[in-house]
Amino acid sequence: MLRLAFGQIRTRPATFAGLATALFMAVTAITLFGSLIAASVVSPPAHGSQPGLVVIGGAFGEIAMLVALFVVVNTLGFAIRQQHRDLALLRTVAATPGQVRGLVRRQVLIVVSLVSPAGWAAGTLGAHRFLAALVARDLVPAGSRIPFTPVPAAAGSVLSLGLGTLAAVVAARPVCRITPAVALGESVGGDRRADPIRTPVGLLALAGGGVLCLAIARQPPDKAGQGALLATLVFLVAVALLGPLFTVAVVTVLGLPLRAVAPRSGRLADANLRGYAARLSSAVVPLALLTSLACVFLSLGDTVRDASRHLAGTELASVTSAADIWLRQVELIILVCFGGVSTVNTLAALTAARRREFALLTLVGATRRQLVSMLCAECLLITAVGTLTGTAVAGATVTSFSVTLPGSPLPSMDPGGYGRIAVGVAVLAALGILLTGLRATSGPATETVAGQRG
Amino acid sequence: MPFSKPHGRRDGGRPEAGGRPGHDGHPEPGGSPGHDGPRSAASPYRPGAASPPDGREDAGPGDRAAARCDDLHRRYGRGANAVHALRGVTIAFAPGTFTAVMGPSGSGKTTLLHCVAGMDRPTSGTVWWGRTEVSRLRERRLAELRRSEVGFVFQSFNLMPAMTVEQNVTLPGRLAGRPPERAAVREALRQVGLAGRERHRPGQLSGGQQQRVAIARALVARPEVVFADEPTGALDRRTGMEILSLLRAGVDGQGRTCVMVTHDPVAAGYADRVVVLADGVIVDDLDRPSAAVVSERLSRLGG
């Protein structure tokens, strides 16, 4: 089995690139924050207003792990989708679902082993630089140092492996849930909407996010800020699970008048839109993740600053220190890295999987120019939907945070900052879709159509 | 190479249909000289018996069949978009026989094959291999049983592209934790005429050779039943006939049961029995028909 897992990775390394990057960042982040917590053991105790190494390392590590789990599930899901045919084939030669999951777990093990050394190095380096910056901003006591111990690195690999194992259960479900014949009949990944637990779990996540928002409103501001991030992630899980259903519902409603006016062509357009709905919603999720995390961070800072301007001299002055804003920015950068990997990986995988579709369009007479302009239009649509969804999620969680502040101000956000987020998301989407699209539309179409793989 | 002629059949073992629709008599199962599988010894057929003497298990018509199904329904999708691929199919495949399943596109042939081979789940109805009901088994148990009881050959070969010929043939055994002996693998490859190709990858072989690897993979565990879904559909006629001869040789030489879906009346000529499906039900059950009869029945269905 280990040999089989290794063979799969060796023959299609591109499939695992996204997963490898996500796991590398998970190992790096856990090593980094683990090192900070280890540093607290050998460093002088924090004084007065300093938050202390354990608090900073713990809070950062917690959120980084949650986002890492989200991104590892996402990238592993695509790695499995791209191996769908091989895994379905294994099921037909009588591999049990447990064996297929075991194969996926071994692939995760191999990838974690491969990226770990680099992750340890990057994490340790990052921890030294981060600690120096913390000392310079007087957030931790002077004289703090990182001890020489393998524990944070080991924790980085072990916890990343744990995340991957957890992700394997979720990601292998589409190919394990159905019978071998049905699995083989589906070209890639199959119809995820058909999974009976998808909608209930999605509704549960939506309800959970709502409950979290209500709970946040009763917390002190610093706890509420952390809670808003958690609620954002829970809402995004709901978006990921309910996305196809929601998109199909919108398309169905829009399709009704269309069918009434033009029964035949309206029906065709409706079918196309429905087919597109599942793909659209998979593409939207990472963009919404990126947008909402970035918006939550910026808006938390801006809202607090606004509130403190109105109430000068209250305890909020300490919360809004320049150092605190810097800390939030560091956290934002880490999360944007995860979100960026997820975005580029998802869009590249979705576009690459359409190679066969592009080739077929070429054979029936589409020019490459037409294909590229079609991709541009899709890119714009996906960016718009993703940014709006992410903004809506961020709006909900930041509102529940803002009521915890004295005077319950409305959430605010610097328009320039929001503009930068939108542009950044659009650039990443274009990178993922257009670069892959240019590659996927090149080469002789007849070979692609004739080949077994799309 | 051990290719027998299409009509070079064994003299004994004239099989008859078990449980065909509208046929409520008990079929006489094919006597299979040379077939000494455990089931034929353990379960002597008794006409009219409601249950075997020990009373433990069901003993309906076709109890002695290598594989059978009762009132099989398979529906895909729900509501207005539901597709009824099978609408009540009852059929038994006697040990040591070669059955061809035919019918127009969309008649449910492949679905029937998948359900009886344990690769798909019927919406209702039961599937039996010998005396074991497999349609209710959990996925894991079913996969384990499938390794030893059933072999499957696909139209599109379905070999793992990254694996060598030898690795492909030994894959089901390795999944079972019992890799076949090297000698057994070599013998299986020799039987299909691919001796010495162990280290090749599927991409380096022709379509006919790839299909022979798939047959070796299906046969190496010595399963009771081999299912083949249009095994010659992607091959030229000559190569296709070689593949059919291999399947026929397995039935004649080792007393294996073979069930094959095909569109080709000539391919069906290698079978002892031809079952015709249309719209998810059996509409014809022919005993050693000529290719002309098969063509005529199919064209009447518009297939």
* Contact at CB, B120 and A94, closer than 8 angstroms: no
Size of interface A-B (CB pairs under 8 A): 58
Q: List A186's β-bridge partners, or say none.
A: none
User: How far apart, in whole angstroms, are the C-alpha atoms of residue A447 and residue A65?
Assistant: 43
pLDDT in tens, A392-415: 999 999 988 888 887 777 788 888
Q: List B285's β-bridge partners, or say none.
A: B275
Instruction: For residue A180, list chain B residues with Cβ-Cβ distance below 8 A.
Output: 119-120
In chain B, where the domains are located: 94-121+141-300
Low-confidence spans in chain B with pLDDT less than 50: 1-62
Q: What is the band of A108 on the pLDDT scale with cuts at 50, 70, 90? A: very high
The chain B residues in contact with chain A (CB within 8 A) are 114, 119-121, 139-140, 143-144, 146-147, 152, 154, 156, 158, 160-163, 171-172, 175-176, 217
Q: What are phi and psi of B181, to 5 degrees?
A: -60, 150
According to the model, what pLDDT value does residue A7 have? Answer: 83
Query: Nearest C-alpha of chain B: how many angstroms from A187?
Result: 13
pLDDT over threshold 80, residue A164: yes
* Contact at CB, A182 and B175, closer than 8 angstroms: no
Spatial contact of B201 and B127, defined as CB atoms under 8 Å apart: no
User: How far apart, in whole angstroms, are the C-alpha atoms of residue B275 and residue B101?
Assistant: 5
Q: Which pair of structure tokens corresponds to residue B25?
A: 């008599």
Spatial contact of B279 and B107, defined as CB atoms under 8 Å apart: yes
User: How far apart, in whole angstroms, are the C-alpha atoms of residue A252 and residue B252?
Assistant: 57
CB atoms under 10 Å from CB of B299, counted, come to: 11
pLDDT in tens, B247-286: 999 999 889 999 999 999 989 999 999 999 999 999 999 9
User: How far apart, in whole angstroms, are the C-alpha atoms of residue A372 and residue A349?
Assistant: 17
Q: Which of A76-90, A269-283, B256-270 has the lowest mean pLDDT?
A: A269-283
Identify which of B119, B139, B147 has the shortest CB distance to residue A181.
Answer: B119
User: How far apart, in whole angstroms, are the C-alpha atoms of residue B165 and residue B163?
Assistant: 7
According to the model, what pLDDT value does residue B87 have? Answer: 95
> Which has the closest alpha carbon to A83: A3, A160, A7, A20?
A7
Mutate to test the interface with B, among A87, A93, A99 (most CBs of B within 10 A): A93
Spatial contact of A339 and A437, defined as CB atoms under 8 Å apart: no
User: How far apart, in whole angstroms, are the C-alpha atoms of residue A439 and residue A354?
Assistant: 11
Looking only at the bridges linking them, the beta strands covering B124-129 and B67-76 are: antiparallel
* Contact at CB, B121 and A179, closer than 8 angstroms: yes
Instruction: For residue B173, list chain A residues with Cβ-Cβ distance below 8 A.
Output: none
In chain A, where the domains are located: 1-190
Spatial contact of A63 and A335, defined as CB atoms under 8 Å apart: yes
According to the model, what pLDDT value does residue A240 have? Answer: 87
Mean pLDDT of all residues belonging to chain A: 84
Identify which of B119, B140, B146 has the shortest CB distance to residue A98.
Answer: B140
User: How far apart, in whole angstroms, are the C-alpha atoms of residue B303 and residue B300?
Assistant: 8
Classify domain B94-121+141-300 at the CATH topology level: Rossmann fold (3.40.50)
